[in-house]
Amino acid sequence: MSVLSRQSPEVRQYLLVTGNYWAFTLTDGALRMLVVLHFHALGYAPLQIAALFVFYEIFGVVTNLLGGYLGARLGLNRTMNVGLGLQVLALLMLAVPTAMLTIPWVMATQALSGIAKDLNKMSAKSSIKLLVPDAQQGTLYKWVAILTGSKNALKGVGFFLGGALLALLGFSGAVIAMAGMLALIWLASLVLLKKDMGKATAKPKFRELLSKSRAINILSGARLFLFGARDVWFVVALPVYLSTVFGWDFWQVGGFLAVWVIGYGAVQSLAPAITGITGKGRGHVPDGRAAFAWASLLAALPALMAIGLAAAWHVPVVLLGGLLVFGAVFAVNSSLHSYLIVSYAREDGVSLDVGFYYMSNAMGRLLGTVLSGWIFQAYGLVACLWVSCLFVLLAAMISVALPRHPVAAGAP
């Protein structure tokens, strides 16, 4: 607390927002692993377990749209704190006797958790816009990259945490422990987070939920296909393939995917250095040209993997090596998008624009999750990879229409 008090008000708020986001993300990743492991042990099939998370994604679409509106009217501190409170409630709802953990009950808890997660994420990403002056776009890019990358790295750590807590405390003990930890964070946030942060000066109308910015609409379309391209083979198809074809047990699958997510988050944090646009002596920041170039590079990877798998050419090397390269390039794409939305968003009512954009992100995840199960079951992993390639190409084509220079970067 003494270190926090010595920082500038902007840095203090950034650290508080980031700390909230980190704590939430740990519980989010741990809860996902807890549910998967526990219901796997109860005899649920992989696709049945995946179905438990459908409401998590569906409510993410709705929450991002309405959450941006609420953030502009009520303030981002309130939407962030509501998200933390709902996650505590969702965790406590799972601390019931096993006989009460029916599929509808668990789906309801996942719906609450999905609402909580997207309220928290929208609030955190929107807050950064308000804490960095518009003239400091390089700083904005780095702060957004650190926030985004650390979130995904901690989500991977959360996978490990969930498994460890399940082994040490059991399912009920694990969710109660996480609820208690997060409740303390929530109480601190209620006291320390700046009041009315992000509250629009003019009350937005409900009809303003849909963005009127051409740049944000285009970027949102690209984001939808980008995340659909990842989840169409990553969410269901890949874990089931590793289990059935490679013969990996659940711990091997979960451990590998956790390491992948941690590495993915680390690359996201390093995106400003990787793209070479915020180093010393470089006076420009990403624009639509960068988004198109990195999406075009990404599109080649699932296509090459599909060709290699179809030809049965060193399948483990093609799949696992390709997954690692795909994750690194995808992480740069995601980090670029996360910077561009914050840069394009208007400062007054920023959460409206950010919420609309992350609604598209959630729709892409939902589309990818549904297609992942259906296409893999009907046509196999190679077909999933070709659909992934198509989606990334669509994201690249849409990105062509993005502004070449963000207005905030000083373009005329």
pLDDT at 237: 86
Tell whether 198 is covered by a domain: no
Tell whether 129 is covered by a domain: yes
Tell whether 184 is covered by a domain: yes
DSSP string, 358-399: HHHHHHHHHHHHHHHHHHHHHH-HHHHHHHHHHHHHHHHHHH
Question: What is the C-alpha to C-alpha distance for residues 153 and 168, in angstroms, rounded to an integer?
Answer: 23
pLDDT at 130: 64
Contacts for 340 with CB less than 8 Å, ≥ 6 apart? 219, 286, 287, 291, 402, 406
pLDDT at 198: 52
pLDDT at 107: 87
Tell whether 202 is covered by a domain: no
DSSP string, 24-68: HHHHHHHHHHHHHHHHHHTT--HHHHHHTTHHHHHHHHHHHHHHH
Per the structure block, which two tokens stand in for 234? 């990553």
pLDDT at 409: 42
Tell whether 138 is covered by a domain: yes
pLDDT at 319: 95
Contacts for 42 with CB less than 8 Å, ≥ 6 apart? 98
Alpha helices in 249-287 (DSSP H): 250-269, 271-275
Per the structure block, which two tokens stand in for 177? 């422990």
pLDDT at 387: 97
CATH number of the domain encompassing residue 152:
1.20.1250.20
Tell whether 107 is covered by a domain: yes
The CA–CA distances, whole Å, from 316 to 24, 239, 324, 390 equal 34, 14, 12, 23
Contacts for 66 with CB less than 8 Å, ≥ 6 apart? 209, 355
| Domain around 108 | 2-192+211-409
In this prediction, the residues of the chain whose per-residue pLDDT falls under 50 are 3-4, 278-282, 406-412
Please give the distance of CA 148 from its chain centroid, rounded to a whole number. 8
Q: 10 Å Cβ neighbour count for 403? A: 18
DSSP string, 77-109: HHHHHHHHHHHHHHHHHT-S-GGG--HHHHHHH
Question: What is the C-alpha to C-alpha distance for residues 226 and 271, in angstroms, rounded to an integer?
Answer: 17
Tell whether 100 is covered by a domain: yes
pLDDT at 103: 82
- Label residue 210 exposed, middle or buried (CB < 10 Å: 0-12, 13-18, 19+): exposed
The CA–CA distances, whole Å, from 218 to 225, 292, 357, 395, 405 equal 11, 12, 10, 10, 14
Tell whether 340 is covered by a domain: yes
pLDDT at 138: 65
Domain count, the chain: 1
pLDDT at 135: 56
pLDDT at 362: 85
Torsion of CA 118, 121, 122, 124, to 10 degrees: 160
pLDDT at 349: 56
- Label residue 59 exposed, middle or buried (CB < 10 Å: 0-12, 13-18, 19+): buried
C-beta separation of 197 from 13 below 8 A: yes
